[in-house]
């Protein structure tokens, strides 16, 4: 029997939606924290295939999710392109900044990324051997706009102001960076598929700060280019796109980009998305991650409400964003029981 995630991505409406969670391998799990300590630091965990595979497998063993998503980070690609990358404990990633044409030219070409990223591909090969046969393996990358915001600012920012400023002040450098990231992302994701990834997800975490023509040019167009080329190289490959906080721009995004599924954040209601987005195919989402901290009857009620709202079409149950480190692992069981009718 075809895996449930693949059936939903192919447009099938299932009586119980398949389920996985963004950041399901993460700090809320004690077994993850133990493996992370063993690795020594976050990047060592990402680049040690045996340990990265282990943390990918941990939530599958604990919960039996229908999909595992490769454990890696969206900023490994800029590092492979030559940016310096490090993580500050308690604060997150830091990168050397790209704000000039000279800085852009100094980056490596897309053909030079694979040596750095080889451990990621090995992690995927391990997972293809060790995952249960019924579990789908998802590969991923950050979308060009989102990755560019980190490369331009050197860190995460609340409003992506440095990237917007460069887009205005030095359009050629900004567009050149987006183009390089688009082509490198295609090659990176294609290599993930060659290693064994069955589905690809494109995370555009900061898509919501792009408005009007900028959304078309820097969220929609790169996604369309990436998806078209991946499907040309790998016919039948399903792709999930996540233009987070796109609001009304979720409508028609699948049609415009060729994505097989649109992942939804929790700023839009499931009922609205069922009417306006699901008509074009599979949707993924969109439980508020905070409910996995709070738990209780609200978690059960919201899980059931979302599943009911999307029950008329293809749906993959997920969160509206990543599960947070303060979530209670027991609440994940409660969510799954509510979804699966246990």
Catalytic residue set: 23, 27, 36, 73, 150
For residues 282, 141, 229, 18, the Cα torsion angle rounded to the nearest 10 degrees is -20
Give CA 312 to chain center in angstroms: 25
Query: Could you give the CA distance from residue 239 to residue 258 in angstroms, rounded to a whole number?
Result: 8
């Amino acid at each position: 029997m075809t895996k449930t995630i693949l059936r939903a991505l192919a447009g099938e409406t299932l009586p119980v939606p398949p389920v996985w969670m963004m950041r399901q391998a993460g700090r809320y799990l004690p077994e993850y924290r133990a493996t992370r300590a063993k690795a020594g630091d976050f990047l060592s965990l990402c680049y040690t295939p045996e340990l990265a595979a282990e943390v990918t497998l941990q939530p599958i063993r604990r919960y039996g999710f229908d999909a595992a998503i490769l454990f890696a980070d969206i900023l490994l690609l800029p590092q492979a392109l030559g940016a310096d990358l490090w993580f500050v404990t308690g604060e997150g990633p830091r990168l050397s900044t790209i704000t000039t044409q000279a800085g852009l030219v100094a980056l490596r070409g897309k053909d030079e990324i694979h040596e750095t990223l080889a451990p990621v591909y090995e992690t995927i090969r391990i997972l293809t051997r060790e995952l249960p046969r019924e579990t789908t393996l998802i590969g991923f990358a950050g979308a060009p706009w989102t990755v560019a915001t980190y490369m331009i600012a050197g860190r995460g920012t609340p409003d992506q102001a440095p990237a917007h400023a460069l887009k205005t002040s030095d359009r050629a450098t900004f567009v050149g960076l987006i183009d390089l990231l688009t082509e490198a992302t295609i090659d990176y994701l294609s290599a993930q598929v060659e290693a064994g990834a069955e589905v690809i997800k494109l995370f555009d975490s900061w898509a919501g700060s792009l408005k009007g023509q900028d959304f078309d040019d820097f969220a929609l167009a790169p996604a369309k280019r990436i998806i078209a080329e991946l499907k040309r190289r790998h016919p039948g490959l399903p792709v999930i796109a996540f233009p987070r906080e796109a609001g009304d721009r979720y409508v028609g995004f699948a049609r415009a980009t060729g994505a097989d599924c649109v992942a939804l954040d929790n700023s839009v209601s499931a009922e609205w998305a069922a009417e306006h987005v699901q008509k074009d195919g599979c949707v993924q989402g969109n439980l508020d991650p905070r409910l996995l901290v709070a738990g209780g009857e609200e978690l059960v009620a919201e899980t059931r409400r979302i599943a009911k709202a999307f029950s008329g079409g293809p749906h993959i149950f997920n969160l509206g964003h990543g599960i947070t480190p303060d979530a209670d692992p027991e609440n994940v069981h409660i969510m799954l029981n509510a979804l699966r009718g246990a």
